[in-house]
């Protein structure tokens, strides 16, 4: 049954016309690139137990690994996109999740719809 036949069919007549779904407005998010880890482990005092010192050394090694990972990711980001932030146009829900889960990497552009 074609569209013209539907218009003539009595079952389809007098049906309310649904409004068109409005187009979803996109939101602009700025990607600043990889972020340097902020939480630097602090050494315990001299009277701390050997287990506390071992935990500190493990935390320090993990932090050094994160810094090295940041340097690799940052250089790859700078090589691909340059030093400035890049614009990402996405839907409002994805933009909100990016900002919440990005750890400071993503920021909403001012004046962007959300």
Whether the predicted model's global pTM rises above the 0.75 cut: no
Task: For residue 72, tell me if it sits in a domain.
Answer: yes
Task: For residue 7, tell me if it sits in a domain.
Answer: no
Task: For residue 73, tell me if it sits in a domain.
Answer: yes
Task: For residue 36, tell me if it sits in a domain.
Answer: yes
CA distance 21 to 37: 43
Name the band, by pLDDT with cuts 50, 70 and 90, for residue 107. Answer: very high
Task: For residue 10, tell me if it sits in a domain.
Answer: no
Total number of domains constituting the chain = 1
Give per-residue pLDDT as tens, 64-96.
Answer: 999 999 999 999 999 999 888 999 999 888 999
CA distance 19 to 46: 72
Radius of gyration of the chain from its Cα atoms, rounded to whole angstroms: 27
Full domain range(s) for residue 101: 25-108
Buried b (16+ CB within 10 A) or exposed e, 8-19: eeeeeeeeeeee
């Amino acid at each position: 049954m074609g569209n013209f036949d539907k218009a003539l069919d009595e079952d389809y007549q007098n049906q309310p016309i649904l409004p068109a779904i409005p187009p979803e407005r996109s939101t602009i998010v700025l990607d600043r690139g990889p972020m340097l880890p902020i939480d630097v482990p602090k050494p315990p005092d001299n009277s701390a137990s050997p287990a506390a010192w071992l935990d500190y050394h493990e935390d320090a090694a993990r932090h050094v690994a994160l810094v090295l990972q940041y340097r690799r990711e940052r250089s790859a980001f700078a090589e691909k996109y340059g030093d400035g932030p890049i614009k990402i146009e996405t839907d409002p829900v994805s933009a909100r999740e990016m900002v919440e889960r990005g750890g400071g990497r993503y920021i909403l552009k001012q004046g962007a719809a959300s």
